[in-house]
Chain A
Amino acid sequence: DGGITQSPKYLFRKEGQNVTLSCEQNLNHDAMYWYRQDPGQGLRLIYYSQIVNDFQKGDIAEGYSVSREKKESFPLTVTSAQKNPTAFYLCASSTGVLYGYTFGSGTRLTVV
């Protein structure tokens, strides 16, 4: 079955560390996205990529970095420059406009 997989489901980060969240899809979708969700709030766009080797900043890109070396993969690195990284991170992919996005199951990142 095709789908989008995020790992790990839970991640703990110490102060000053960089961590990388994985997002892999086998849907052959061109576009991929990273969103951050805080309690009681909506989704805020971090980065998105419409094709391989190209990506654009979203609304809250500071303190994050991405790469898109393969169509299937769009990893997100939360750097030490992100001062408040504790949140639920959602990855999504899409193709065309008809069906919206397909979301992964999310990664919950906690700073300890």
Chain B
Amino acid sequence: GEDVEQSLFLSVREGDSSVINCTYTDSSSTYLYWYKQEPGAGLQLLTYIFSNMDMKQDQRLTVLLNKKDKHLSLRIADTQTGDSAIYFCAERMDSSYKLIFGSGTRLLVRP
């Protein structure tokens, strides 16, 4: 079945690292994505990872993929107040244009 789950809320102090977690159920997922949504705006693609990769790093962002446990995480190093937003993970099944989104994790960065 198709289901993506995320925790609803995460609060961190400015300068700390944030780790946002996501689990998915469909083992045929080939691409996994992280999106950021600021208040009243659309979603912005942050990064993506192929299912044959374990890790991807892009500046302050590190994505870890554990295919055995169907677990995806996004680590934000040196979290800033501008990182406060809702973060969505999404999976795409093989040969499909459709993305399945999680319910989003609201990240609050405290000064």
Contact = CB atoms under 8 A, between A and B. Distances in A.
| Interface residues of B, dominant DSSP | strand
Contacts of B43: 43, 90, 92, 101, 103
10 contacts: A42-B101, A43-B101, A50-B97, A94-B97, A98-B48, A100-B33, A100-B35, A100-B92, A100-B99, A105-B41
A42 B102 contact: yes
Interface in B45-94: 45, 48, 88, 90, 92
A107 to B, nearest CB: 10
A97 B92 contact: yes
Interface string A69-111: 0000000000000000000001010100111111111101000
A71 to B, nearest CB: 15
A105 B39 CA distance: 10
A12 B43 CA distance: 23
Contacts of A94: 97
B40 interface: yes
A45 interface: yes
A40 B102 CA distance: 12
Interface in A27-49: 31, 35, 40-43, 45, 48
A48 B40 CA distance: 22
A31 B96 CA distance: 11
B11 interface: no
B1 interface: no
Given A42-B103, A45-B98, A101-B99, A106 B42 contact: yes
A60 to B, nearest CB: 13
B97 A100 contact: no
A2 to B, nearest CB: 14
